[in-house]
Structure formats: C-alpha cells, structure tokens
Amino acid sequence: MDVDIKPKSLQPHWYELYVQPCVAELLGSALFIFIGCLSVVEDAEGAGRLQPALAHGLALGLTIAILGDISGGHFNPAVSLGVWLVGGLNMTMLIPYWVSQLCGGTIGAGLAKPTIWSVDGINRAPPAQAVAASERYVNASGGAFSSITADEQIPSVLVGEIVMTTFLVLVVCMGAINGKTKTPLAPFCIGFTVTVDILAG
C-alpha cells in the first residue's frame, strides 16, 4: 500500500522574517550614507554635482543589488512608506524599517568623520590612510549643493524635494514591486533615479 507522505513546508524562522530585514536595512543605509557623505565632503569647489550624484547612485544600486533580496532594499523612510502603501511591506515592519534606516544613516554619517584627517596640527589618521582634509568636512556641502539663503526659497525647494522623492518612490514601486512592470534591472534603475535627482536639484 503506497502512502504519499507530503513533506511539511518549512516556515521561515522569525529571525529571517523580522530581524534579518531590519539588519539589512541598517547595514544598507549605513553603507549608502557613508559613501554619500564622503563623496560630498571630497567634492571640490566648482566640480558641480556629478561626483556626488554618481557616488550616491552607484552606491545605492550596488547596495540594493546585494541586500535587496533580504529586506527589499529600501534604505529610505519615504520609500518604505510608499512600498507599504502599495502593499509591498507589512505594517508591522514599517516602524522597525524606519528605525533601522535612521540608525543606519546616523552610523554611516558618524563613520565618515573618523576618515577625515586634519591639516591644522591634529592628525586623526595618517594622510596615506585618510580620505579628506578636515576643513572640507566643515564645508559639508563640498561645493556640490547650494544652500537656502532666503525664506522665499523654501516653497520651491519643498516642491522640488516632493517631486524628486515621488519620482524615486514611483521607480521603486514600478520597477521592484509591481508584478507587471518589475524588472531585474530595478537596482540599476533606482540608483540611476537617485543620480538623476541629484543632478536635477
């Protein structure tokens, strides 16, 4: 008498469902912000936005490619919110993702400071191992971005940020979430969108 024994489907461990994605978001956010901070600090006056734009876009694309299968590769609270709104993220993970991303961003920015060596007599690291002189760290814009100088600029800057963030979230949702339009090139598309956003504004 033949008896079909169906193997029980293995349920993912709670660590894989809840902890691992948050760790991936923390690590990815830290790497992305670290590379981004260094690219802005190292950007020379007059060089424009190209260096930071390429560094941010490539760093994000690579980070999504290596960690995206674990957490979805959001690395941005606005992206996580958008993904949750279209049903690509469970509500129970939204706040943990945000906390992981904010902590990761803080860690990434904090790690950028020790790599900066000083030219005013205090060496934080030997120049051969350092990335940039500390006076560039003080000028955090690195010549790449202009700052808001008047209150009248705030509405236009706010509109620009909303439109560019919406563009990024749209690319994420359509390139990585939507069943009809998602593509294996999503990490490249998302990174390229960040590059375009930085070059645009």
The DSSP secondary structure of 70-126, one letter per residue, reads HH----SHHHHHHHHHTTSS-HHHHHHHHHHHHHHHHHHHHHHGGGEEPSSS--SS-
Sign of CA dihedral 138, 139, 142, 145: positive
Mean pLDDT of the chain: 84
Residue whose entry in the numeric block shows the structure tokens 């279209």 = 86
Using alpha carbons, select from 201, 199, 194, 177 the residue that is nearest to residue 63. 194
Q: Of 27-31, 142-146, 156-160, 177-181, which gets the smallest average pLDDT? A: 142-146
What letter represents residue 180's amino acid? K
Q: Which domains does the chain have, with CATH numbers?
A: 18-200 (1.20.1080.10)
Encode pLDDT of 10-30 as tens digits: 788 888 889 999 999 999 999
Burial of 88 from C-beta contacts in 10 A (0-12 / 13-18 / 19+): middle
For the whole model, what pTM was predicted?
0.80
Q: Select the more confidently predicted residue: 17 or 186.
A: 186
How many alpha carbons fall within 13 Å on the CB side of residue 103?
A: 12
Asked if pLDDT for residue 161 goes beyond 60, the answer is yes
Question: Could you report the per-residue pLDDT of 62-79, keeping only the tens digit for each?
Answer: 999 999 999 999 999 999
How many Å apart are CA 99 and CA 81, to the nearest integer?
Answer: 13
Residue 33: which of 113, 134, 138 has the closest Cα? 113
Determine the Cα–Cα distance for residues 76 and 56; give it in Å rounded to an integer. 13
